[in-house]
């Protein structure tokens, strides 16, 4: 039994590491684009916070996930897609000022 379990653990494929796990592993174009923001976070909040920001916001996989979430159709409070929607203007900050953007919301 133990040998079977050991063989199963050895035969299981290892999870592949994310393509970018730190700022140093980002592509050169992304390092150039996000370098100043990364250095600002390192200086003000520390390296651990800056690396977490890279993993959750800057990595191409993370950006694709955020884009998919942002472009997903609206859902109701139970997580089901809405059958009827309306456009509502929502305030957001933009470089220190407030602006309004249209957002789709469910009609109850």
Contact 51, 25 (CB under 8 A): no
Q: Are residues 61 and 102 in the same domain?
A: no
Q: Are residues 50 and 61 in the same domain?
A: yes
| Maximum Cα–Cα distance across the chain | 65
The Cα-based distances of 8 to 2, 3, 17 in angstroms read 10, 9, 21
**Tens digits of pLDDT across the chain (108 residues):** 555 544 454 555 554 455 678 898 888 998 999 999 999 999 999 999 999 999 888 888 888 888 888 888 888 888 888 889 999 999 998 778 899 999 888 887
pTM over 0.75: no
Residue 52 domain-assigned (yes or no): yes
Q: Count structural domains, the chain.
A: 2
Parent domain of 81: 73-108
The answer for residues whose C-beta is within 8 angstroms of residue 23's C-beta and 6 or more apart is 31, 34, 38, 50, 51, 54, 58
Residue 55 domain-assigned (yes or no): yes
């Amino acid at each position: 039994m133990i040998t079977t379990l050991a063989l199963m653990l050895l035969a299981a494929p290892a999870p592949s590491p994310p393509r970018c796990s730190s700022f140093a592993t980002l592509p050169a174009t992304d390092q150039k684009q996000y370098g100043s923001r990364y250095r600002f976070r390192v200086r003000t909040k520390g390296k651990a916070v800056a690396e977490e920001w890279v993993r959750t916001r800057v990595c191409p996989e993370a950006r694709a996930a955020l884009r998919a979430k942002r472009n997903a159709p609206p859902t109701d409070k139970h997580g089901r897609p809405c059958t009827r929607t309306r456009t509502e203007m929502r305030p957001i900050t933009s470089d220190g000022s407030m602006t309004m953007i249209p957002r789709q919301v469910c009609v109850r």
